[in-house]
Amino acid sequence: MILSIQNVVKQYGKHTAVDHVSFDVPRGSVFGLSGPNGAGKTSLIRMITTITGPDEGAILLDGEPLNERTPEQIGYMPEERGLYKKMKVGEHLLYLAQLKGLSEKSANQEIKYWFDKFEINDWWEKKVEELSKGMQQKIQFITTVVHKPKLLILDEPFSGLDPINTTLIKDEIRQLNAAGTSIIFSTHRMEQVEEMCDHIVLINQGKNVLYGEVKAIKNAFKENLFRIETADDLPGDFDRHFQVASRPDGAVVVQLNEEASRSNELLRYLLQHNIHVSRFEEILPTFNEIFIRRVEETQN
């Protein structure tokens, strides 16, 4: 485990922002931290990044309780990006890298590496305010990763990015992850969770309402729906053998009962009746649906 959240509580005055939340982030994973706005995501992140401390419970990074060396091992990109507008890009990066514990020399080297990688070597002397928004986002990303953190926390990393930069940052995230960096990916955009994450925790009203491996959760929430696409007409007694859930434009969606072998039964039936199948797939619930379902369930 790279990160372990153990029964953490955070209160602001009378408001409980985080209410006995526990979860583990496996080493090397891309971990989705999601929940509606105001669920307590930022409060959690602020505790992990040691900006604030928990009122109860414990947080372990790499097996160690959070301490004064923790910030150097974490890279955090907040949802609301910010840089010193009047500073020169090179100086700005040097400053933040040194605050993350790098020596001036190694900070210079690291920044150079990223400048080469993004092909922005002529930006060093430019003031931040002279850059376009997309360019500033690149700089912001470099500030987050320049000190080679063990754990990267990205809060809505793609908000405000154009498709080109989104792809660029996505690729960088994947590369960093492949190189062993664990990543916490905070978002309420479920399609991004599905695309990027292997593990997830869903927070609502300060509570952990769903937690686990993305595949496992999808399986747990599946309704045994199968979609058949065919040009042929189905035999008349098909409805007596199988429960048809819906017929969206030409296709047939069938709801099977719990046993997994029932899908083979369905296939066998189609073969026996010489139905030409162009497509056969299990419909898994989207995370969006799971998200909304869980949020509604916990709200009641």
Question: Based on CB atoms, which residue is closest to another protein, 59 or 190?
Answer: 59
Angle, helices 133-145 vs 89-99, to 10°: value is 30
Q: Which residues contact 194 (CB under 8 A, 6 or more apart)?
A: 214, 286, 287
Report which of 26, 14, 34, 298 is spatially closest to residue 183, judged by C-alpha positions.
26
| CB-nearer residue toward another protein: 153 or 201 | 153
* Options 32, 71, 157, 206; binder of another protein; rule CB under 8 A: 71
Q: Does 187 bind another protein (CB under 8 A)?
A: no
End-to-end CA distance of the chain: 33
Q: Does 55 bind another protein (CB under 8 A)?
A: yes
Residue 110 to residue 94: CA distance in whole angstroms: 9
Nearest distance from C-beta of residue 50 to another protein, angstroms: 8
The span from the CA of 244 to the CA of 248, in Å, is 11
Tokens 């080469």, located at residue: 116
Q: Which of 6, 22, 50, 108 binds another protein (CB under 8 A)?
A: 50
Residues 76-105 that bind another protein (CB under 8 A): 76-78, 80-87, 95-96, 98-100, 104
The interface region with another protein, picked from 44-52, 167-175, 226-234, 236-244 by CB under 8 A, is 44-52
- Which of residues 13 and 163 has its CB atom nearest to another protein in the complex? 13
Shortest CB 82 distance to another protein, Å:
3
Q: Which stretch binds another protein (CB under 8 A): 48-56, 268-276, 282-290, 292-300?
A: 48-56
CB of 100 to another protein, least distance (A): 6
Mask of contacts with another protein, 2-21, x by CB under 8 A?
-----------x--------
d(CA 7, CA 186): 19
What is the spatial distance between Cα 27 and Cα 177, in angstroms, rounded to a whole number?
A: 10
In terms of C-beta density within 10 A (0-12 exposed, 13-18 middle, 19 or more buried), how is residue 13 classed? Answer: exposed
Nearest-angstrom CA–CA distance, 105 and 84: 22
Nearer to another protein, 84 or 113 (CB): 84
Binding residues for another protein, per CB under 8 A?
13, 46, 49-52, 55, 71, 74, 76-78, 80-87, 95-96, 98-100, 104, 140, 143
